[in-house]
Structure 1
Amino acid sequence: MNLTPSPTIVIVPGLRDHVPDHWQTILANKIENCRSVSPLEKDRLACDAQVAALDAVLSDISGEVVLVAHSAGVMTTVHWARRHHRPVLGALLAAPPDFETPLPEGYPTPEALRANGWTPTPRTPLPFPSIVAASTNDPLATFERVTDLARAWGSRLVDVGPVGHLNPAAGYGAWPRAEEFIRELGGVPLDKTL
């Protein structure tokens, strides 16, 4: 009988509000031992505030952790890893945006991202195993740029195909591959319905 507690899965969302049909929200509702970083009410675009919010969630957890980040949550995670030294089993980094090139209309400008501390993007190896799940047609980053980031972070790059930004706007609600990647990183998500 295994008495070792399952790692806590920590959901690190992007800069937008939680959406009920987003794969991260669905995953959080399915996994027994899961915490989410809540969207900020103020300073939402501030990198320091996002990193502090992630660190606050992590400081309340005493056991092992697997991070599950999407979009700007990936950038929050890599900035956090550069500043903090808490042990992490691993991280799933899904659809990282390229904050160093102009994003589509409706997203923050390079100037706004720079002013809020997001750039330059950290390019040092992460101190824990990680998987970058990269889309081949993400409107927020080219596959080539994400490949370069994955290499710099020491992450295993997984081409997940033409999935857009891997969000509801791209037709993705539930994303079962996330659970596969979490298991690979040492997390064993348990269905709350069991």
Structure 2
Amino acid sequence: MSGQKQPDTLVLPGYQNSGAGHWQTRWEALSPAFVRVQMPDWEHPQRDAWCRTLDAAVAAADAPVVFAAHSLGCLTTAFWASQYASAAQLAKVAGALLVALPDPAEAHFPRDATGFAPVPLKRLPFPSIVVASSDDPYGGVPFSKTCANAWGSRWIDIGPRGHINADSGLGDWNEGREWLGSFGAPNRR
């Protein structure tokens, strides 16, 4: 990849943001190439506001970019790609790591989040990987497989890891950074 710019990584947390022990926060501490997209309201997510914020972040970034999305950040990515992004914006995206998809039909889905159903089941116009946990209370394996198939994503089950967040004990989650690296993103250790 000599002579080519490595993509910057836009970090897309979910509902209530990602705290200190979360793999997204730890990745940001490893490299300035990881840039968190600051959503307008972490406690009361609205699809339109989150997608417009993501669109502005992609517009402001130098191409190429990759997404490291968790939970509601994954649904934001899918809605943005299918309903908000221009062809020029989509062309800037080298790939997306989509971790712990929440199912809006699940009882645990945050009721303060609005506009995230029905989930768009349209092929994503960039490479993607969906990472699921077999015991995620916010989204089951069948839901994540359905989304991965519709989106044209590679699907990976990492076993019983809950919501794949700070409580999952992943630390710096080297395996996740390797998957992100498959899109040309930095893999700093």
Distance in 2 (alpha carbons) for counterparts of 1:108 and 1:182: 27
Identify the residue that residue 159 of structure 1 maps to in structure 2: 157
Secondary structure class of the residue paired with 1:157: strand
Residues 70-123 of structure 1: per-residue CA shift (max 9 Å, x gap): 0000001001101203121100000111112322xxx523xx55xx21111000
Larger Rg: 1
Which segment is superposed worse, 62-71 or 181-190?
181-190
Q: May I ask how many residue pairs the two structures share in their alignment?
A: 184
Secondary structure class of the residue paired with 2:136: coil
- After the TM superposition, which residues 116-135 of structure 1 pair with which residues of structure 2 at under 5 Å, given as runs? 116-135=114-133
| CA displacement at 1:185 relative to structure 2 | 1.8
TM-score of the two chains, using structure 1 as the length reference? 0.87
- After the TM superposition, which residues 40-189 of structure 1 pair with which residues of structure 2 at under 5 Å, given as runs? 40-41=40-41, 44-82=44-82, 83-85=84-86, 86=89, 87=91, 88-103=93-108, 107-109=109-111, 113=113, 116-189=114-187
Q: Is the 8 A contact 1:68 1:93 kept in 2?
A: yes
Distance in 2 (alpha carbons) for counterparts of 1:37 and 1:21: 18
| CA displacement at 1:43 relative to structure 2 | 7.7
C-alpha spacing 1:27/1:46, structure 2 compared with 1 (3 Å): same
Secondary structure class of the residue paired with 2:35: strand
Distance in 1 (alpha carbons) for counterparts of 2:149 and 2:170: 26
Identify the residue that residue 25 of structure 1 maps to in structure 2: 25
Secondary structure class of the residue paired with 1:151: helix
TM-score of the two chains, using structure 2 as the length reference? 0.89
Aligned CA-pair RMSD:
1.9
Uncovered stretches (5+) of structure 2, i.e. residues with no partner: none
Q: Is the 8 A contact 1:32 1:189 kept in 2?
A: no
Secondary structure class of the residue paired with 2:56: helix
| Matched residue type, 2:102 | P
Q: Would you identify which runs of 4 or more consecutive aligned residues in structure 1 move more than 2 Å? A: 39-44, 169-174, 188-191
